[in-house]
Amino acid sequence: MKYKLKMVIKISRHYLEDLSNYFLPIMLKMTEARARVNEGTELEDLYKISYSVLNDIDLMFDRKNLTLQKKFTIRLKDAEGIILYKMLLNFPIAGDDVWRVLLRNQIVEQLDKQIA
């Protein structure tokens, strides 16, 4: 079985800014809260690992936002891509928030093709 070492997301600046300023802070808070709720269990360790990976992704996105590019190709390690994929799938979004639904769907579709 051959494993890919990297996953790639192609995204515009607007989507990257929304991911960085809206989605990731909430995902980090949710993961931190779940780690506290599951304190003393095996799930606590998994949430701590997920928090660390999401924090690394957040830093990567912040660095990308400092550039003047309008389109980005973001390379993620497998673990980063899978955790981002799972967190976006479980992220609650109001049905009338079309912009964020489209953003989530675009990222999830790109990652899903590379995970399968």
pLDDT in tens, 78-92: 989 999 999 999 998
Residue 102's Cβ-count burial label (10 Å; 0-12, 13-18, 19+) is: exposed
Please give the structure tokens belonging to residue 97: 């928030």
Residue 91's alpha-carbon distances to 24, 28, 56, in angstroms, are 10, 11, 19
Instruction: Kindly list the domain boundaries of the chain, sorted by start residue.
Output: 6-115
> In the prediction, which pLDDT does 2 show?
57
Q: Is 39 helix (H, G, I), strand (E, B) or coil?
A: coil
pLDDT in tens, 25-42: 999 999 999 999 999 888
Q: What share of the chain is helix, strand, coil (3-state, %, to 5)?
A: 70, 10, 20
